[in-house]
A and B are shown apart, each in its own frame.
Chain A
Protein backbone atom coordinates (compact mmCIF):
# COMPACT_ATOMS: atom_id res chain seq x y z
CA UNK A 1 0.00 0.00 0.00
CA UNK A 2 1.44 3.37 -1.03
CA UNK A 3 2.15 5.89 1.70
CA UNK A 4 1.17 9.51 1.95
CA UNK A 5 2.54 11.55 -0.93
CA UNK A 6 3.11 15.28 -1.08
CA UNK A 7 3.95 17.45 -4.03
CA UNK A 8 6.02 19.35 -4.71
CA UNK A 9 8.83 18.37 -2.35
CA UNK A 10 10.62 21.70 -2.60
CA UNK A 11 9.38 25.12 -3.55
CA UNK A 12 10.91 28.57 -3.72
CA UNK A 13 8.63 31.60 -3.93
CA UNK A 14 8.93 35.32 -3.40
CA UNK A 15 7.00 37.50 -1.00
CA UNK A 16 3.51 38.33 -2.16
CA UNK A 17 3.11 35.25 -4.34
CA UNK A 18 0.73 32.43 -3.58
CA UNK A 19 1.40 28.71 -3.42
CA UNK A 20 -0.62 25.49 -3.56
CA UNK A 21 0.58 22.29 -1.96
CA UNK A 22 -0.92 18.87 -2.56
CA UNK A 23 -1.33 15.81 -0.36
CA UNK A 24 -2.58 12.37 -1.39
CA UNK A 25 -3.52 10.21 1.59
CA UNK A 26 -3.12 6.48 1.99
CA UNK A 27 -5.77 4.62 0.03
CA UNK A 28 -8.90 4.30 2.15
CA UNK A 29 -7.99 7.12 4.51
CA UNK A 30 -10.55 9.90 4.57
CA UNK A 31 -8.94 12.35 6.97
CA UNK A 32 -6.09 14.68 6.02
CA UNK A 33 -4.40 17.06 8.45
CA UNK A 34 -1.85 19.74 7.66
CA UNK A 35 0.98 20.97 9.90
CA UNK A 36 3.55 23.70 9.64
CA UNK A 37 6.97 23.04 11.12
CA UNK A 38 9.46 25.83 11.77
CA UNK A 39 12.57 25.78 13.98
CA UNK A 40 11.10 28.32 16.35
CA UNK A 41 7.51 27.12 16.65
CA UNK A 42 7.77 23.38 16.24
CA UNK A 43 4.88 21.42 14.73
CA UNK A 44 1.76 23.54 14.52
CA UNK A 45 -1.62 22.29 13.41
CA UNK A 46 -3.11 24.11 10.43
CA UNK A 47 -6.36 22.31 9.65
CA UNK A 48 -7.98 18.95 9.18
CA UNK A 49 -10.36 17.76 6.49
CA UNK A 50 -12.63 14.76 6.64
CA UNK A 51 -15.03 13.78 3.88
CA UNK A 52 -14.43 17.09 2.07
CA UNK A 53 -15.34 19.17 5.14
CA UNK A 54 -12.99 21.18 7.29
CA UNK A 55 -13.31 19.62 10.70
CA UNK A 56 -10.85 21.64 12.70
CA UNK A 57 -8.65 24.67 12.24
CA UNK A 58 -5.54 25.91 14.00
CA UNK A 59 -4.60 29.45 14.85
CA UNK A 60 -3.38 30.69 11.47
CA UNK A 61 -4.43 33.77 9.46
CA UNK A 62 -6.96 33.54 6.68
CA UNK A 63 -4.14 33.54 4.10
CA UNK A 64 -3.91 29.83 4.84
CA UNK A 65 -6.71 27.80 3.35
CA UNK A 66 -7.36 24.29 2.24
CA UNK A 67 -9.78 21.93 0.65
CA UNK A 68 -10.38 18.24 0.18
CA UNK A 69 -11.64 16.50 -2.90
CA UNK A 70 -14.00 13.56 -3.22
CA UNK A 71 -11.04 11.17 -3.62
CA UNK A 72 -9.70 12.46 -0.25
CA UNK A 73 -6.75 14.27 -1.84
CA UNK A 74 -6.20 17.60 -0.19
CA UNK A 75 -4.64 20.89 -1.17
CA UNK A 76 -3.57 23.80 0.96
CA UNK A 77 -3.07 27.29 -0.34
CA UNK A 78 -1.12 30.17 1.09
CA UNK A 79 -1.77 33.57 -0.43
CA UNK A 80 0.32 36.72 -0.18
CA UNK A 81 3.37 34.84 1.06
CA UNK A 82 5.48 36.32 3.84
CA UNK A 83 9.05 35.51 4.80
CA UNK A 84 7.76 33.85 7.97
CA UNK A 85 5.85 31.30 5.92
CA UNK A 86 9.11 29.56 5.09
CA UNK A 87 8.69 26.15 6.68
CA UNK A 88 8.28 22.45 6.21
CA UNK A 89 4.62 21.68 5.53
CA UNK A 90 3.57 18.20 6.50
CA UNK A 91 0.35 16.40 5.87
CA UNK A 92 -0.92 13.35 7.67
CA UNK A 93 -3.67 10.92 6.83
CA UNK A 94 -5.82 8.68 8.98
CA UNK A 95 -8.92 6.58 8.51
CA UNK A 96 -11.15 8.93 10.50
CA UNK A 97 -10.49 12.30 12.16
CA UNK A 98 -7.13 12.07 13.84
CA UNK A 99 -8.27 13.20 17.28
CA UNK A 100 -10.57 10.20 17.64
CA UNK A 101 -8.60 7.81 19.82
CA UNK A 102 -9.34 4.48 18.22
CA UNK A 103 -6.75 1.73 18.02
CA UNK A 104 -6.99 1.67 14.23
CA UNK A 105 -6.63 5.42 13.84
CA UNK A 106 -2.91 6.02 13.54
CA UNK A 107 -1.75 9.13 11.74
CA UNK A 108 0.73 8.60 8.90
CA UNK A 109 2.80 11.46 7.57
CA UNK A 110 4.01 12.35 4.13
CA UNK A 111 7.59 13.45 3.38
CA UNK A 112 6.67 17.13 3.49
CA UNK A 113 7.01 20.13 1.23
CA UNK A 114 9.83 22.48 2.07
CA UNK A 115 8.77 26.03 1.19
CA UNK A 116 11.27 28.86 1.04
CA UNK A 117 9.98 32.41 0.68
CA UNK A 118 12.52 34.97 -0.52
Chain B
Protein backbone atom coordinates (compact mmCIF):
# COMPACT_ATOMS: atom_id res chain seq x y z
CA UNK B 1 0.00 0.00 0.00
CA UNK B 2 0.91 3.63 -0.14
CA UNK B 3 3.58 4.80 2.31
CA UNK B 4 3.53 8.22 3.93
CA UNK B 5 6.63 9.48 5.70
CA UNK B 6 6.94 12.70 7.64
CA UNK B 7 10.10 14.42 8.74
CA UNK B 8 11.47 15.41 11.09
CA UNK B 9 9.68 13.34 13.73
CA UNK B 10 10.39 15.95 16.40
CA UNK B 11 11.28 19.62 16.26
CA UNK B 12 12.01 22.05 19.08
CA UNK B 13 12.23 25.73 18.20
CA UNK B 14 12.36 29.07 19.89
CA UNK B 15 9.36 31.37 19.52
CA UNK B 16 9.76 33.49 16.40
CA UNK B 17 11.69 30.89 14.42
CA UNK B 18 10.61 29.49 11.06
CA UNK B 19 10.18 25.79 10.29
CA UNK B 20 9.63 23.46 7.37
CA UNK B 21 7.85 20.11 7.76
CA UNK B 22 8.00 17.52 5.03
CA UNK B 23 5.63 14.78 3.86
CA UNK B 24 6.84 12.21 1.34
CA UNK B 25 4.52 9.68 -0.24
CA UNK B 26 5.24 6.59 -2.26
CA UNK B 27 2.50 6.69 -4.87
CA UNK B 28 0.77 9.26 -6.96
CA UNK B 29 -2.16 10.87 -5.22
CA UNK B 30 -4.76 13.38 -6.23
CA UNK B 31 -5.08 15.16 -2.94
CA UNK B 32 -3.45 15.79 0.39
CA UNK B 33 -4.46 17.36 3.69
CA UNK B 34 -2.39 18.87 6.46
CA UNK B 35 -3.71 18.82 10.02
CA UNK B 36 -2.56 20.26 13.33
CA UNK B 37 -3.39 18.24 16.42
CA UNK B 38 -3.47 20.48 19.45
CA UNK B 39 -2.51 19.32 22.95
CA UNK B 40 -6.17 18.43 23.66
CA UNK B 41 -6.25 15.99 20.75
CA UNK B 42 -8.37 18.00 18.33
CA UNK B 43 -7.32 17.70 14.69
CA UNK B 44 -7.57 21.06 12.98
CA UNK B 45 -7.67 21.33 9.19
CA UNK B 46 -4.83 23.44 7.85
CA UNK B 47 -4.70 22.85 4.11
CA UNK B 48 -6.36 20.74 1.46
CA UNK B 49 -3.75 20.88 -1.26
CA UNK B 50 -3.43 18.49 -4.22
CA UNK B 51 -0.77 20.59 -5.89
CA UNK B 52 0.66 24.06 -5.94
CA UNK B 53 0.97 26.44 -3.03
CA UNK B 54 -1.54 27.83 -0.56
CA UNK B 55 -1.08 30.35 2.20
CA UNK B 56 -3.05 31.09 5.33
CA UNK B 57 -1.49 33.74 7.53
CA UNK B 58 1.82 32.52 8.88
CA UNK B 59 1.32 29.06 7.40
CA UNK B 60 1.79 27.97 3.84
CA UNK B 61 1.94 24.62 2.08
CA UNK B 62 3.34 23.41 -1.20
CA UNK B 63 2.62 20.06 -2.84
CA UNK B 64 4.65 18.77 -5.77
CA UNK B 65 2.59 15.74 -6.73
CA UNK B 66 4.90 14.68 -9.58
CA UNK B 67 7.80 14.43 -7.12
CA UNK B 68 5.61 12.97 -4.36
CA UNK B 69 6.15 15.40 -1.55
CA UNK B 70 4.49 18.23 0.29
CA UNK B 71 5.97 20.89 2.55
CA UNK B 72 4.36 22.85 5.36
CA UNK B 73 6.00 26.14 6.29
CA UNK B 74 5.43 27.88 9.59
CA UNK B 75 6.86 31.34 9.92
CA UNK B 76 7.36 33.41 13.09
CA UNK B 77 6.38 30.45 15.30
CA UNK B 78 4.20 31.02 18.34
CA UNK B 79 3.74 28.78 21.37
CA UNK B 80 0.21 28.02 20.15
CA UNK B 81 1.76 26.33 17.10
CA UNK B 82 2.97 23.51 19.35
CA UNK B 83 1.44 20.12 18.74
CA UNK B 84 1.63 17.39 16.15
CA UNK B 85 1.33 18.03 12.44
CA UNK B 86 -0.02 15.29 10.20
CA UNK B 87 -0.29 14.93 6.48
CA UNK B 88 -2.98 12.61 5.15
CA UNK B 89 -3.68 11.24 1.71
CA UNK B 90 -6.75 9.60 0.21
CA UNK B 91 -6.09 6.15 -1.14
CA UNK B 92 -8.56 3.31 -0.71
CA UNK B 93 -8.88 4.95 2.69
CA UNK B 94 -7.25 8.00 4.23
CA UNK B 95 -3.62 7.27 5.06
CA UNK B 96 -1.92 9.34 7.75
CA UNK B 97 1.77 9.90 8.29
CA UNK B 98 3.20 9.41 11.78
CA UNK B 99 3.37 13.15 12.29
CA UNK B 100 5.93 15.78 13.26
CA UNK B 101 5.82 16.82 16.91
CA UNK B 102 6.58 20.54 17.13
CA UNK B 103 7.40 22.21 20.43
CA UNK B 104 7.77 26.00 20.46
CA UNK B 105 9.64 27.38 23.45
CA UNK B 106 8.63 30.81 24.82
Which residues, 1 to 53 on B, are CB-close (under 8 Å) to A? Answer: 29-31, 33, 35, 40-43, 45, 48, 50
Question: How far is A103 from B50 in the complex, measured between Cα atoms in Å?
Answer: 8
A residues touching B (Cβ–Cβ < 8 Å)? 33, 35, 37, 42-43, 45, 48, 56, 58, 88, 90, 92, 98-103, 105-109, 111-112, 114
What are 8 sample pairs from A and B whose C-beta atoms fall under 8 A apart?
A35-B96, A90-B41, A99-B93, A101-B30, A103-B50, A105-B31, A106-B45, A111-B42
B interface, size bucket: 20 to 34
Do the beta carbons of A99 and B33 come within 8 Å of each other? no
Question: How far is A101 from B90 in the complex, measured between Cα atoms in Å?
Answer: 6
| Residues of the B chain whose Cβ atoms lie less than 8 Å from the Cβ of A45 | 93-95
| Residues of the B chain whose Cβ atoms lie less than 8 Å from the Cβ of A35 | 96
Do the beta carbons of A109 and B30 come within 8 Å of each other? no
Question: How far is A114 from B29 in the complex, measured between Cα atoms in Å?
Answer: 32
Do the beta carbons of B90 and A99 come within 8 Å of each other? yes
Do the beta carbons of B33 and A106 come within 8 Å of each other? yes
Do the beta carbons of B31 and A107 come within 8 Å of each other? no
Do the beta carbons of B33 and A107 come within 8 Å of each other? yes
Name A58's contact: one of B31, B33, B93 (CB within 8 Å).
B93
| Residues of the B chain whose Cβ atoms lie less than 8 Å from the Cβ of A106 | 33, 45, 48
Do the beta carbons of A43 and B33 come within 8 Å of each other? no
